[in-house]
A = this chain, B = another copy of it.
Amino acid sequence: MSSRSYVRLSASLLSDPSVAALAETFKVLGDTTRVRILDVLSRTELCVQDLAGVLGLTPSAVSHQLRLLRTSRLVRTRRDGRQIFYALDDDHIVGLFRQGLEHVQEL
């Protein structure tokens, strides 16, 4: 392949910011704890201590992970008294899970 072709191919690739944002999103999804959290939240809204209860983790560990998920706009929060309820922020995550599972299941 000529270096001239490198240039032509490069011009059609994803931009650096897109690549970074995409990788960042997948990185957040690439951890069993966060997958489990998102799986739970795809079924019901839940507060931190209940998430911890369901998943068998400390509230602190869950809170740390939720911060990441919040920063990535994967979950949103709603305060009700002392508790803060978490829910999925958009439907793309469910789509990503479904598509990811399809890939996984054909191994």
List the interface of chain A (C-beta within 8 A of B): 1, 3, 6, 9-10, 12-14, 18-32, 34-36, 39-40, 43-44, 46, 50, 53-54, 73-74, 90, 92-93, 95-97, 99-104, 106-107
Contact = CB atoms under 8 A, between A and B. Distances in A.
* Majority secondary structure, A binding face: helix
Given A28-B30, A46-B1, A92 B96 contact: no
Oligomer copy total? 2
Given A13-B36, A39-B13, A23 B27 contact: no
Contacts of A96: 96, 99-100, 103
29 contacts: A6-B54, A9-B40, A9-B54, A10-B54, A12-B43, A13-B43, A14-B39, A18-B104, A19-B35, A19-B36, A21-B104, A21-B107, A22-B100, A22-B104, A23-B32, A23-B34, A25-B103, A26-B27, A26-B29, A26-B35, A26-B100, A27-B27, A28-B30, A29-B30, A73-B103, A90-B103, A96-B96, A96-B100, A99-B99
